[in-house]
Structure 1
Amino acid sequence: MKKLFYFSFILFSQFIIGQVSGNVNYQNQYAANTTIDIGFPSSEGIVATVKGLANVKADTYTAIFSTTQTGKTTKEVNDLLDQRIERSLNEIKLKKGVEIFVDMISFVPVYEYEVEKKIFSRKTYNEVPVGFELKKNIHIKFSDPNQLNDFISILSNHEIYDLVRVDYFSNSLETIKKEMMNKAKLLIQEKIKNYELLLGETFTNVEKRITDGFVVNLPVEMYKSYEAYNSSSLNLKKSADVNQANKSTTLYYQPIFGKEFDFIINSSVLEPVIQVQYEVKIFINREKEKKQVAKTDKEFILITPNGDLKNLNINTPKQIH
């Protein structure tokens, strides 16, 4: 009886561990770095680098819904679409802190093919206008992400279903960037001091070059897709007809992992966020000292016939290595 219980526990434990990884691993979406691969510095010098990541929660959002209306006349098309949009927006405007903008996209005629029958020749298909198609986009700005479900419910009641995208905005990006630069400055100074201690040298008077930059990733750019299914394999003849079922495609938010960064601001991510990356690099040329310019202390003054005094710059700067 004890052996049976132990065997069952092992199976259950493996099932739990498999669920923690998630179904996304059916298609091997993750490529883990299991070893550290560090390039050796060049003979001329070394590079000190610091990378930072900040997860910034959005302050406001803009959802874009697409609407389409067709009809036989321009008046019919305009009236039908305006009625749908107006009824929807009257309900949405009752929500707190909401701004709305309607964007005109296109207004084009719609054509169909008309068959021209001839007795002694082939059929001829002619395009003829049969109506008009009108497209408009509804932009909704809001600050509470929970309101998006309310907007979808209201718009769907008026046959508006196409949610094109949701954009994220933050008023604190400039403050976050300054904070990241300050953190990176302290860390890279610490790295350079550590290199000096390890090498028993000082880099005070050697040549240095610096570069840095930011990358901002929005949630709309960070979604991936996968299909999770397990199909059976059949040993069939080539002539066999196989009807495969349509597989459901899933979208999920995939943020940038924080494992490659020296520091992270707001490391825990629950909802989709704006992610800001910052990197600074300093190249230290250990073989080359800074160029210094020395000048003589002598000054020469020219007295003009009018009695004016002018300084003559006849000193030649010398470079000291």
Structure 2
Amino acid sequence: MKKLFFTASTALFSTFIMGQASGNINYRDQESYNNTAIDINFPSNNDILVSVKGLANVKADAYTAIFSITQNGKTTKEVNELMDQRIMQSLNEIKLKKGVETFVDMISFVPVYEYETEKKVFNRKTYNEVPAGFELKKNIHIKFDDPNQLNEFIAILSNYEIYDLVKVDYFSNALETIKKEMMMKAKLLVQEKLKNYQELLGETFINTEKKITDDFIINVPIEMYKSYEAYNSSSLNLKKAANINQVTKSVTLYYQPVFNKDFDFVINSTVLEPVIQIQYEIKIAINREKKPASKTDKEFILVTPNGDLKTLNTNTTKQN
């Protein structure tokens, strides 16, 4: 009797070590994500570089959810009537909710084709495309203030076979105010760092050449979702070739905000729900090199007996 030997192994890691509180995220592939941290640089030189980075987590005060709806029909009249009926009935219920605004966006209206078989006695089958009807696509935009209302919208729209939630956009009216607050905090920290460097070096930077640059980055939740697959798979030690049918594994999405660890200050450090994240960085480069004054930099001024000031030209050359 043939026996199958199963060896348990992780599907995504050859070595699996994690703390019990780390979660299933540890099953994910070793993916490299784009750097979400702000990065501004000066050309490489011997300057002293003073940098301050800040992060602000801003809770949204308005949201826009977009749902996609598709309708098929034999004629243009049928398609439009069915689409209008589904949208009108669903929006009539949604508009009863407090603080809700809606907008319907036209996406596409195209004919649909199918294949018709043409049979001939002494020839192969021929498949001809023939009109089969029309396909109409629209998007429903819903603006709302309370994030808990999204579940209510989904319940209403699903009654009319509208299931495709395309995305949710986040908005805040406090972004400019938060930016100003971040710039002020960064200014104080830069001054503190400059003072510390001067004390450590025993010199002053007052008369030194300086360069300054700064920038903002804003990350919204739709950009910050990651994914992973968590499962254990088995290896089969088979002597003969065999067909193996694998089951489609579930993919998990999760919100991954920018971490607080790389910043000099953080506004609203605790993140419970997806938020708008603002990053700010300011850099100052200080050139400590003392350039000796050249002869051409000197200027002589003659005071005449009448009290007039005249600049003497010291660059004159002798003529033969």
Question: Do 2:62 and 2:172's aligned partners in 1 also have CA atoms closer than 8 Å?
Answer: yes
Q: Which residue of structure 2 lines up, in the alignment, with residue 130 of structure 1?
A: 132
Can you give the 5+ residue segments of structure 1 that lack an aligned partner in the other structure? 1-16, 32-40, 300-313
Q: How big is each residue's C-alpha offset from its partner over 1:277-318, in whole Å with a ceiling of 9 and x where there is no partner? A: 001110111114799x9999899xxxxxxxxxxxxxx96999
Which amino acid in the other structure matches residue 46 of structure 2?
A: E
Question: Do 1:207 and 1:289's aligned partners in 2 also have CA atoms closer than 8 Å?
Answer: no
Q: Which residue of structure 2 lines up, in the alignment, with residue 162 of structure 1?
A: 164
Q: How big is each residue's C-alpha offset from its partner over 1:151-201, in whole Å with a ceiling of 9 and x where there is no partner? A: 000000111000000000000000000000111111111111111111111
CA deviation after TM superposition for structure 1 residue 241, in Å: 2.2
Question: Do 2:28 and 2:227's aligned partners in 1 also have CA atoms closer than 8 Å?
Answer: no
Over 4 Å off, 4+ runs: 28-31, 288-291, 293-299, 314-318
CA deviation after TM superposition for structure 1 residue 123, in Å: 2.4
2: CA distance, partners of 1:61 / 1:138 = 14
Aligned residue for 1:231, secondary structure, equals strand
Which amino acid in the other structure matches residue 55 of structure 1?
A: N
Q: Which residue of structure 2 lines up, in the alignment, with residue 38 of structure 1?
A: none
Q: 1:95 aligns with which of 93, 97, 108?
A: 97
CA deviation after TM superposition for structure 1 residue 84, in Å: 0.6
Which amino acid in the other structure matches residue 222 of structure 2?
A: V
1: CA distance, partners of 2:197 / 2:213 = 19
1:281 and 2:283 aligned = yes
Bigger relative CO (Cα 8 Å, ≥ 6 apart): 2
Q: How big is each residue's C-alpha offset from its partner over 1:113-136, in whole Å with a ceiling of 9 and x where there is no partner? A: 122222333322221111000001
2: CA distance, partners of 1:171 / 1:107 = 36
Q: Which residue of structure 2 lines up, in the alignment, with residue 26 of structure 1?
A: 27
Paired residue total: 278
- CA gap of 1:222–1:298, structure 2 versus 1, over 3 A, is farther
Task: Tell me which moved more, 275-284 or 187-196.
Answer: 187-196
Q: Which residue of structure 2 lines up, in the alignment, with residue 227 of structure 1?
A: 229
2: CA distance, partners of 1:119 / 1:65 = 50
Alignment map for 1:189-228 (pairs within 5 Å): 189-228=191-230
Aligned residue for 2:129, secondary structure, equals strand
Q: When the two structures are superposed, what TM-score results if normalisation uses the length of structure 2?
A: 0.80
Aligned residue for 2:234, secondary structure, equals coil
RMSD: 2.7
1: CA distance, partners of 2:312 / 2:178 = 48
Can you give the 5+ residue segments of structure 2 that lack an aligned partner in the other structure? 1-17, 33-42, 304-309, 315-320
Q: When the two structures are superposed, what TM-score results if normalisation uses the length of structure 1?
A: 0.80
Q: Indicate the structure with greater helix content.
A: 1
1: CA distance, partners of 2:123 / 2:133 = 30
Alignment map for 1:134-149 (pairs within 5 Å): 134-149=136-151
Q: Which residue of structure 1 lines up, in the alignment, with residue 270 of structure 2?
A: 268
Aligned residue for 1:24, secondary structure, equals helix
Identity %: 74
Which amino acid in the other structure matches residue 284 of structure 1?
A: I
Question: Do 1:46 and 1:284's aligned partners in 2 also have CA atoms closer than 8 Å?
Answer: yes
Question: Do 1:77 and 1:133's aligned partners in 2 also have CA atoms closer than 8 Å?
Answer: yes
1: CA distance, partners of 2:193 / 2:87 = 59
